[in-house]
Amino acid sequence: MDLESLDNPRKYPLTLQLAPMIDIFFLIIVFLLKATIVADVSIVFPREMHPPMSRSKETLETFPEVVVTETEIIVGIIHENLNLAEVEKLSEERVNEIKSKVEQYVKSKDEKVRSQATHVNLITYRGNNYKNIFASVKFLRKIGFQSVAFIAEGEGQ
């Protein structure tokens, strides 16, 4: 039996239908554009504070800011200024009170940014010692923040 002798039952060859594909891609693009959150990222450093230098080219995320000085930790979003020496000695009641403020802050956010409300940018100066920074990060995690991003100046700034 010769394969060339068989008749092809299709009269029209298969073709690529571009119109439905264009419609689908257009819908995907519209969906992605509508789901994107665009915000201006700007951090205002206190005048006397000079953050560490960084060679990283990563972009800055728009998370709430926490400032750590030599003596205190300032969590502006919940209006708390705490003495660094006393942070590790806070009572459970006080920690739970601050934690509930963080939870209220997260609940007050829009659903689109609620998942990012538990992240925080930590700003400190170059000369701050490791013990202060470690105590601050430990405290921030204890009161409900899931991640801490360290803010640094770029080489070209």
Q: Summarize pLDDT for 60-95 with one digit per residue, the tens.
A: 556 778 888 888 888 888 888 888 888 888 899 998
Domain ranges of the chain: 3-35, 53-154
Is the pTM here over 0.85, yes or no? Answer: no
Q: What pLDDT is attached to residue 93?
A: 92
Is the pLDDT assigned to residue 157 strictly greater than 50? no
Per the CB < 8 A criterion, the answer to whether 81 and 108 are in contact is no
* Cα dihedral value 132, 48, 149, 127, nearest 10: -40
Q: In what order do the strands lie in the sheet with 147-150?
A: 80-83, 72-75, 65-68, 119-124, 147-150
Count the Cβ atoms, other than its own, within 10 Å of residue 137. 19
Backbone angles phi, psi at 102, to 5 degrees: -65, -45
Rounded to an integer, the average pLDDT of 6-27 is 78
